[in-house]
Structure 1
Amino acid sequence: MEPPDRRGAAVTASATSPRDLAHPAREEIRLEAVLHALSDPMRLRVVRELAAADGEVACSGIELPVTKSTTTHHFRVLRESGVIRQTYRGTAKMNALREDALGALFPGLLDAVLAAADAQTARLGAP
């Protein structure tokens, strides 16, 4: 396991090849890292789209109004904080929310954040 990053998120160094992506184990997921990941509007947009999806979604299936390198950064922050799980399917990197892990560690947090984001969108008309 690698040492915690600057936000306190421990990142499991379980990746054995470039196609194996490191994810924190459930017990390593930290609230402050999850809250940091969810605090960015682009990352929150990704989480909302994944929550609304029926199953995994490819990175290319979520359009963000930022550069490709910035999009990659946002997905990495979400993965390293434990909010999403990323796996390769052929050449596509697929994404899914870690709803079970987040729900077990922080009951109601994800639902509350998604409901608040929906309410804010309704109030402000923001995407």
Structure 2
Amino acid sequence: MLYLLIFVALLILFVGFFIWTAIAGRRHQRRRHVLRAWVTVTIFVATVLYAEGLRYLYSFNKDAQTIHLPFAITSGVIFLVLVLLGWKLQSGNRFRVWHRAAVITFAVMLIPTTITGILLITTAAPR
């Protein structure tokens, strides 16, 4: 149960840092944005690792997994693209529009990923 609580705390922390990072980027606070982005990426990696660890501690409903995993994988790929585009912004502004599009796409994808993730967790049973 503690592992699950840590995962949920990391997930909430990730969403909070993602929003905080996006606000700094939108306000053109580059140094704050980059610093927060590194923290956000670190929290994201920890969240993904904890999510993977949950597979060994809980049995999940196969139907709920079938619904959640495509959203989770797509969100992860979009997040990776978002980070890479942000990194490429250091070499010039021509990636700014694509980076912003990735931020918006990821933010939109968080909604179904979170909803299906909640469904997945509520149907889980300890092993």
The question of a shared fold, defined as TM-score above 0.5 by the shorter chain, is answered with no
Which structure ranks higher in relative contact order (CA pairs < 8 Å, sequence separation ≥ 6)? 2
Larger % of helix: which? 2
Q: Which one has the bigger strand percentage? A: 1
The interval holding the TM-score normalised by the smaller chain is: under 0.3
Structure of higher CA gyration radius: 2
When the two structures are superposed, what TM-score results if normalisation uses the length of structure 1?
Answer: 0.27
